[in-house]
């Protein structure tokens, strides 16, 4: 059997793996991490990170092969995150665990300077 020319053999990282990498790193660096789910509502951000005097909401999305294939926010997520923005709270969206960890590190260093 011949493999098709356009078959993609690159390693797949699912959103859950990236998210769990961030959770493991954060918990090992004194962040309190909680999975979020609203009762009777949809579209909660994935995780709440509490530490270093801050509460941060993070949504992880799947990284695609191209920006147009990256995971997108659902209409419900867009509306929910807009509600947070209207009261001055940002939901931070990341496509890689590496980027989310760098963000958390920056929040730690903000207080250590």
Strand order through the sheet with 54-60: 32-35, 47-51, 54-60, 91-94
Overall domain count for the chain: 1
Q: What is the pTM of this model?
A: 0.80
Asked, for residue 6, whether it belongs to a domain, the answer is no
Cα–Cα distance list, 59 to 17, 43, 46, 91 (Å): 13, 10, 5, 7
Residue 46 lies in a domain: yes
Which residues constitute the domain of residue 99? Answer: 15-112
Within-domain flag for 2: no
CA separation, residue 12 to residues 6, 20, 50, 81 (Å): 16, 15, 29, 28
* CATH assignment of the domain containing 35: 3.40.1350.10
In-domain check, residue 64: yes
Give the tens place of pLDDT for each residue, 14-25.
556 889 999 999
59-89 confidence digits (pLDDT tens): 999 877 666 667 889 999 999 999 999 999 9
């Amino acid at each position: 059997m011949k493999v098709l020319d356009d078959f993609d053999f690159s390693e797949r990282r699912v959103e859950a793996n990236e998210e769990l990498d961030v959770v493991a790193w954060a918990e090992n660096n004194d962040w309190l991490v909680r999975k979020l789910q609203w009762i009777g509502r949809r579209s909660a951000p994935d995780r709440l990170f509490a530490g270093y005097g801050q509460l941060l909401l993070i949504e992880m999305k799947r990284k695609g092969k191209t920006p147009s294939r990256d995971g997108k926010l659902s209409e419900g997520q867009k509306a929910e995150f807009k509600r947070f923005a209207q009261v001055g709270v940002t939901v931070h969206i990341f496509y890689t665990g590496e980027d989310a960890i760098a963000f958390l590190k920056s929040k730690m260093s903000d207080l250590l300077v």
